Structure 1
Amino acid sequence: MKSCYQSDFWCLAEPIRNGQPDDGLRVFEFLKTKKITTGHTYSLVLKAVANSQGSDTALEMLMEMLGECEVKKDFDAIAYNTMITVCGKVNNGIETERIWRSMKANGCCPTRVTYCLLISNFVHCSQNELALDAYSEMVQNGFEAGNDTKQAIISVCTKEGKWSLALSVFQDMLKGGLKPNLIACNALINSLAKAGEVKLAFEVFDITTSLGHSPDAYTWNALLGALYNADRHDDVLQLFDSIKKDQGSQLNLHLYNTALMSCSKLGSWDRALQLLWQMEAFGLSIPTTSYNLVISACEIARKPKVALQVYEHMVHQKCNPDTFTHLSLLRACIWGSLWDEVEEILNWAAPNVSLYNAVIQGMYLRGKIDSAKNLYTKMREHGLQPDGKTRAMMLQNLSKNSARHRRSWSLGYRGRHRQKMK
């Protein structure tokens, strides 16, 4: 013999599922007139309508129901949860929030399930602040979130830069005997790294491995980033070597580039070259950014000829240089007094105001005033506008020339005047 619940479900759901929604709704109206509806009744009919006619129709029906005082009394958390679930299936965060507000306005207390559904919906719809609001309310009302919900909150906190709350939720999971997955651990490590909390990032890393998780490329990228942001460039290279030795298969372009960035900061040109050849041997498709970092390391180390060789190799590999490539290369050649190479690079590159400014300023500082003036004239012929520093240098030079001319003229005038006096 069927229970009342099963009977209600059959009477309501079957006609709608079989393409006879009017019959099912007539049964529903009959139950309403007899005042024998419950929260389960509304939940069943809304779910059936959503499955057969879509979420929009079910939402319209919900709003009509909530406009009826008697219906509102019978509406319980189960009915609301049904519609929150319906909204979740179509990623409708706006209606999820609307149902949540309506539920509280009508005096219906959310349950633990309600909060879990709300948080899940808001996370999937990228409504992070609402997810955090729902979690805060859930905790205040004394409900304990499950593993999935807490992991979702950690993810949300890290996206919003709220590393302290993420760490607190993470610690609560550990205290409660829950096991955060690798995704949650990585998100927290990355958030701590960005916040400059290097020590905490490595502590979470140690916990991650103690939980039995194997670090992946995302883990290593976060840790290298933490060290790099803390200006611990030697430590970056040391950790990179450790990863290469023990987890070589996980090395990717991001990890190599972080190591190259540290080489650039340190001016470690030989190490940068070594990494570049390893990247090629590893079969990575090397972008312009990576070559720029190697050239930058050569620039810092005052190795212009090596920088030129890297540039030629880059072009040979059919990797197109950009403005940053040419700027770094030009600065290296200027400090190495490779003026012929400077001229060649300017001829290779399309007319660019940044390149002309850099070379003119470099020439001026290296005492090549006439060359700087000639290049300034060429720059203006290309229709390029000099920056404030270049303009100031040219004006300063003109002032010196003018003063020199006035002094020369004055000396000549006094000499001629003395001759006439004689």
Structure 2
Amino acid sequence: MGYHSNEYVSSALMTSYAKNGLTADALSIFNDDKLPHSVIHSNVIAGMYNRSGQYHKTQELFCEVGDPDTASWNILIAACSRNGDFKEAFELFHHMQMDRITPDNYTYISLLSICTKLCNLVLGSSLHGLMIKANFNLCDLMVCNVMIDMYGKCGSVWSAATIFDEMIEKNVVSWTALVSALGLNGYEQEAVERFKQMEMIGIEPDNIAFIAVLSACRHAGLVNEGMELFEKMREKYGIEPQMEHYLLVVDLMSRYGHLKEAEQLISGMPFPPNAGIWRSFLEGCNRQRTIEDLSLPIQAKYNIALDRSLYFPIFG
């Protein structure tokens, strides 16, 4: 019908091909010299390269774009972030500002994620300050969630809680990020309380939220709370525990002396336990054995040591 030459139609068709993994079809349109091309077409292909891990091709394509827009810069910054080129990503952000290209939420998400990976609180706080100067109210829910996660993993739990409390809209990711931040920074009881508060207001936790709260229980030794939450996953929310959930609960019980319960849980797993689960269980056994040895009289300890030396002689 002749619409193939319309740049909006062709770019939409390329996007459809790219999202469905039809790389050759998307490239065939992009490489067709008879069709008009714009920066939108280049962004589609660059994004396709980015999702497939071909970051060098993303960079090569960016160099060929005559007038890159915000989406073009975002794709390249995201490519650097995923490829571990963190310094280059912030250099690109600097050039972006020099060219008077206004960053958007996707720009900040990539840069905040880098701060989280580097655990660099100074860099993250500086970026947050820049966002406030640029009208922080424009930031969406996803940006706020990433900021809570960044501050929590960088050790500033007060900043994470402040952002959370100031948010008008919150979702399960927001609550999970806060629970994780509290648990990581020594506020395990508060993390469990926040998790319960999330349930009370009607937000259903997902498997990631349970990982966050079970991790908090493990750090604080909250065995009963951890077991109740683990049972609630299946009974109330219909979430089948994954390997990481079992690892946290086994480690929790083994670490605080509930070895029989941990052994029963391992034997009832729907899949074979991995090395991490066995390591946690055996460390718990060794810890319990050490505690029992410390409680023995001196003569009994001497007899055990003598007995063990018969099986493990010391030479030299």
Task: Find the partner of 1:123 among 10, 14, 18.
Answer: 14
CA distance in 2, matches of 1:260, 1:383: 34
Change (3 A) 1:198 1:316: same
CA distance in 2, matches of 1:179, 1:206: 17
One-letter identity of the residue aligned with 2:14: V
CA contact (8 A) 1:304 1:333 kept: yes
CA contact (8 A) 2:176 2:208 kept: yes
Task: Find the partner of 1:257 among 138, 145, 165.
Answer: 145
CA contact (8 A) 1:237 1:262 kept: no
Change (3 A) 1:149 1:322: closer
TM-score when normalising by structure 2 = 0.67
Task: Find the partner of 2:193 among 299, 305, 309.
Answer: 309
SS of the residue 1:270 aligns to = helix
CA distance in 2, matches of 1:163, 1:331: 34
CA distance in 1, matches of 2:133, 2:173: 25
> Is 2:205 the counterpart of 1:318?
no
- Displacement, 1:221? 2.3
- Displacement, 1:197? 3.0
CA contact (8 A) 2:160 2:181 kept: yes
CA contact (8 A) 2:254 2:262 kept: no
Aligned sequence identity (%): 17
Number of residues of Structure 1 aligned to a counterpart in Structure 2: 275
CA contact (8 A) 2:120 2:154 kept: no
CA distance in 1, matches of 2:15, 2:205: 40
CA contact (8 A) 1:266 1:297 kept: no
Task: Find the partner of 2:259 among 369, 372, 383.
Answer: 372
> Is 2:130 the counterpart of 1:239?
no
- Displacement, 1:305? 1.5
Change (3 A) 1:254 1:386: same
> Please, which moves more after superposition, 324-333 or 164-173?
164-173
TM-score when normalising by structure 1 = 0.52
CA distance in 1, matches of 2:44, 2:271: 47
Greater gyration radius: 1
SS of the residue 1:318 aligns to = coil
Q: Deviations over 1:293-346 (max 9, x none)?
A: 222222222221211221132123221123333343233233323344335434
C-alpha root-mean-square deviation of aligned residues, in Å?
A: 4.2
Q: Which residue number corresponds to residue 149 of structure 1? A: 38
CA contact (8 A) 1:237 1:259 kept: no
Q: Which residue number corresponds to residue 273 of structure 2? A: 387
**After the TM superposition, which residues 8-407 of structure 1 pair with which residues of structure 2 at under 5 Å, given as runs?**
55=1, 85-87=2-4, 123=14, 126=17, 128-129=23-24, 132=27, 148-161=37-50, 162-173=54-65, 178-232=66-120, 234-279=122-167, 283-284=168-169, 286-346=170-230, 348-350=232-234, 353=241, 355=245, 357-366=247-256, 368=257, 371-374=258-261, 376-377=263-264, 387-388=273-274, 390=277, 393=281
- Displacement, 1:385? 6.2
- Displacement, 1:163? 4.4
CA distance in 2, matches of 1:356, 1:168: 45
- Displacement, 1:379? 7.5
CA distance in 2, matches of 1:152, 1:248: 31
SS of the residue 2:137 aligns to = helix
CA distance in 1, matches of 2:241, 2:217: 18
- In structure 2, stretches of 5+ residues that fail to align are 294-299, 304-316
One-letter identity of the residue aligned with 1:318: G
- Displacement, 1:243? 0.6
Q: Deviations over 1:165-187 (max 9, x none)?
A: 444454455xxxx5333333333
- Displacement, 1:87? 4.4
- Displacement, 1:251? 1.1
Change (3 A) 1:181 1:317: same
CA contact (8 A) 1:154 1:188 kept: no
CA distance in 2, matches of 1:192, 1:180: 16
